Amino acid sequence: MKYPILLPNIFNHPFTYESDLNLKIGEYVSVPFGKNKLTGVVWDKLEDNEQKKFKLKKVFKKLQVKPLKKTTINFLNWFSEYNIIPKGMALKLMLLSNNVIENDLKKNLKVFESNIKNNSTKLSEDQKKCLEEMSMANNKFRVHVLQGTTGSGKTLVYFEAIKSIIERGSQGLILLPEIGLTGQFEQKFFEYFGFNPGVWHSGISKKKKEIIWSGITSGDIQVIIGARSSLFLPFTKLGMIIVDEEHDQSFKQDEGVTYNARDMAIARASFENIPINLVTAVPSIETFENIKKGKYSVSRLNQRYKNASLPNYEIINLNNFKLEKQSWLSNEIVRKVNLHLEKKDQVLFFLNRRGFSPHVLCNKCYKSFSCPNCSINLVYHKKRDNLLCHYCGYKSFLKRDCSKDGNCEFIFSGPGVERISDEVKKKFPGKKVEIFSSDTMNKKHSMDKLNKIIKNETNILVGTQLISKGFHFPSLNCIVVVDIDLSSQGHDLRGAEKNLQLYHQLSGRAGRTGKPATVYFQTYNHDTKMIDDITNKNPDIFLERELEVRKKNKLPPFQRFISLILTGENENKLETEALRFKNFIESKIEGRVLGPVNAPIFRLRRKFRVRLLIRGIKSMKVQNSIAKIIPKYKFAAGIKLSVDVDPINFN
């Protein structure tokens, strides 16, 4: 009998195999492919190969693993169509290194046994009301938004919602935007429920991944806390999805297979016919628009937990308080911070730049250090004593022969968190200072650092935006935004929205246990309207205005954008090819083609990059027309195309 078998590779269709076995849709099989033996899945439709007469290969064997559900296959088919990627690459996201786990790993699953402990935590009346609204349709698909002030106890509400899912024997998935959050969150989960969730992200070991994959497939693991990729685990009885910090840009996967995990989570919940809850302090523009249209239901928590007050805001005008040479902290800020330290408040200096300095140049020959592979500056990291490209990972030492004479004499232009940390140590001697960024907090010992911060053993933090993402620091009552002017630069379509979300989240780290807290903004700008906007207690006012601007200019969420990026090593050849490609597709797709233009980061990993942008109505017709036309075009040798549906960054 003939069977369609989808393989985890770049093909957009299953291959036809023969077998005497009685195979069913979703079953895993081992098959020959060329000279290799591959794991595949019995798919839902045979390819129409009547024109081609060739001898069919036989399936080797059926694998002893619970089959993939039909709803999951439907989701993967849709995922492939929506994101314009081959079906085989969608399946690859669901397998482990192109394989499955047949071994019985039950002995390793005891730590995940879901014996829920009795919890003494009492919900407030507002929290109970939100829980009731969240749980109104806990058996079928609907999108519910839990919007609440930072520190209002949103996590407790959805923990209770997850509890009812576990009690009826279903599985729950909690998506977090950053792997750095999973450690503290896992601890919080264990304290509340009394058992371990499965934790899934790129940083966990191969062995642990095998155990969790096996436990999810068998149904023995009931809750997964994970980053983007956990959405593709082969759940057998998924009952609810939670997307925490749904507005976070980190849910967008920008490399390899590109997709937005929040949007794909909503789609998976729809195919599984289960509820999904989006949790946020400030919704994304797309979510806000869907609430307004009545497509998503919403509950709001307006009071912080135990009535803790939100922080106050104060602007430090740097035109009135001159900075000393090579200093980024005004004397006024130093004075204010000392007052907080005297009260045993923890202090955060915030600057969204990793490393020591973003720009290094020679005082004699005026040459700057730039990446040989990418069209961007190298960032100096003092701790490692090297220059680093934050895009391709290229490293270089600081020492360099000068074209004028001897060695180069370096000037460091602008600060990163390491440079601010050095200044903080000088201005506040004797205080324990810790840098909080992806360079320091994704390491094995980061849990120790977190515990010291929570216990207030660390007096001062110097952090990037990673610190804004859901961490709970009980003693943090003073935040200094070192350079708010830096955030307002650039031409990012989503810049205003990102700033609103970032600074709401950031200020939400302060004053969580009831003590008075203040956020200080250092600025040279006389117009403080942007600061007023991003610190307004009601973010909906800003989102309403932003929606009007987007509607007027036909920008997302009112139109669909699809980015087509062509890359190649030869600049002239690439530009010629981009024009030829545009002329080929322009009249054949459902949308308007803009460009080609050089991408803002024109050279990346030794490849030049040219961008075309397609804008059209919000309909699958746009994707379908692109998917149909691209295979008919033959790209010149060395030119590659990548497709990004609903782009968030335009680098």
> Token pair of 130, please?
């939100």
Query: Hey, which residues does 244 pair with through a beta bridge?
Result: 279
Which residues are within 8 A (CB) of 616 and not within 5 positions of it... i.e. 6 or more apart?
A: 559, 560, 562, 589, 590, 591, 592, 622
Spans of the chain, pLDDT less than 50: 51
CA angle at 169 for the pair 165 and 171, rounded to the nearest 5°: 60
Note the pLDDT of residue 52: 58
Q: Residues 463-483: pLDDT tens digits? A: 888 877 767 788 888 989 888
The whole-angstrom separation of Cα 365 and Cα 402 is 7
Listed residue (409, 416, 345, 353) closest to 382, CA to CA: 416
Q: Residues 577-636: pLDDT tens digits? A: 999 999 999 989 999 999 899 998 999 999 999 999 999 998 899 999 999 999 999 999
Note the pLDDT of residue 109: 83
Note the pLDDT of residue 307: 65
Cβ neighbourhood burial of 168 (10 Å; 0-12, 13-18, 19+):
exposed
> What is the distance of C-alpha 633 from the center of its chain?
33
Q: Residues 88-129: pLDDT tens digits? A: 999 999 998 888 888 777 788 888 887 787 776 788 889 999
The whole-angstrom separation of Cα 471 and Cα 388 is 28
Note the pLDDT of residue 468: 77
Which residues are within 8 A (CB) of 113 and not within 5 positions of it... i.e. 6 or more apart?
A: 195
The whole-angstrom separation of Cα 31 and Cα 58 is 7
CB 143 within 8 A of CB 280: no
The whole-angstrom separation of Cα 542 and Cα 503 is 13
The whole-angstrom separation of Cα 459 and Cα 473 is 12
Helix (H, G, I), strand (E, B) or coil at 162: helix
Per DSSP, the chain holds a count of helices (H) and strands (E) of: 18, 29
CB 374 within 8 A of CB 605: yes
166: alpha, beta or left, given left = phi > 0 and alpha = psi -120 to 50? alpha
Note the pLDDT of residue 74: 96
The whole-angstrom separation of Cα 421 and Cα 415 is 10
Domains defined for the chain, CATH in brackets = 2-94 (3.40.1440.60), 106-306 (3.40.50.300), 308-356+415-547 (3.40.50.300), 560-645 (3.30.70.600)
97: alpha, beta or left, given left = phi > 0 and alpha = psi -120 to 50? left
Burial code (b: 16+ CB inside 10 Å, e: under 16) for 464-499 equals bbbbbbbbbbebbbbbbbbbbeebeeeeebbebbbb
CB 80 within 8 A of CB 619: no
DSSP for 218-272, please give it: HT---EEEESGGGGGS--SSEEEEEEETTT-GGGEE-SSS-EEHHHHHHHHHHHH
* Pairing status of strand 346-350 against strand 460-463: parallel
Note the pLDDT of residue 349: 94
Listed residue (462, 463, 539) closest to 499, CA to CA: 539
Listed residue (478, 537, 530) closest to 281, CA to CA: 537
Cβ neighbourhood burial of 171 (10 Å; 0-12, 13-18, 19+):
buried
DSSP for 33-83, please give it: ETTEEEEEEE-S-----TT---PPPBP-EE-SSPPPPHHHHHHHHHHHHHH
Note the pLDDT of residue 388: 93
> Token pair of 271, please?
């195919």
Note the pLDDT of residue 491: 52
